[in-house]
Structure formats: C-alpha cells, structure tokens
Structure 1
Amino acid sequence: MAEEPDLTGATVYEVADRPSLGGGRWYVLPDDSTFFRPTGGELRQSLITAHTLRDRSTWTEVSEG
C-alpha cells in the first residue's frame, strides 16, 4: 500500500449543490496535485485538476473538520 500524501495545507472541495452527490472530498495540495477521498474510502489521485476545482461552480471550498 502506498503512503498517503500529507494533506497539511490542502484546500478542500465538495460538490457545491449536493455534497453527497460526489460522495467525498477533493484535496488540492500546495503543489497543485489533487486527490479524492470517497466517503468511507481511501484517498486516491484525482483526475480533476486543481484549476477545475478552483474555477468551476460545480465545486465549493469547504472547511476540513
């Protein structure tokens, strides 16, 4: 099993209008790499780019917690 990346300083996103639709959260690391964690699942590299997560209204930034 590969070691999970350090999510310190990551910006966190969910689907804007229906957070449960995506079933998880997307993380943008300071180096602009992106990861997705489905609800109850393992963190994995995301196919969605940092630019897309930041600039499209489909996703909204949320507080991790």
Structure 2
Amino acid sequence: MKAVLELAVQVTREEEMQYIVTLNTDGLARAADLGFDAVPYMNNTILKDKHETGGLFGFRFGDTA
C-alpha cells in the first residue's frame, strides 16, 4: 500500500495532475504504519445523501424517485 501511494505522489507531481484515492481508514493506517504520511495530500470531504443537497460533489446516484 505504501509503495502505491508513494508512486501516485511521484507521478502526479511529475505530470502536474490530480489523482483521487479512496481508502478505508484501516488501509490508510497500514500505509502510515509503513511510514507513509498522507496528511499533506488529504482533502477530507464528507459525502452524505441524507438531504436532497447531498451526494458526491453535487451528483446523486441511485435515485429512483
């Protein structure tokens, strides 16, 4: 896990691009245990669909109404 995240950091810097990773906290904890510091790269976005304004960056999935 650590090597994959480090490669993503390297490639995105070299190519001046953005890479979005979603991980469960246990996977991130394993990478941290191996020495990867994710804090400089984190954008903690909370996704929720409780209200009509929720969803993923303004998009709603699975609405059947």
Give the alignment's TM-score, normalised by structure 1.
Answer: 0.28
More strand by share: 1
TM-score, length of structure 2 as denominator length: 0.28
Higher relative contact order (CA 8 A, sep 6+): 1
| Higher Rg of the two aligned structures | 2
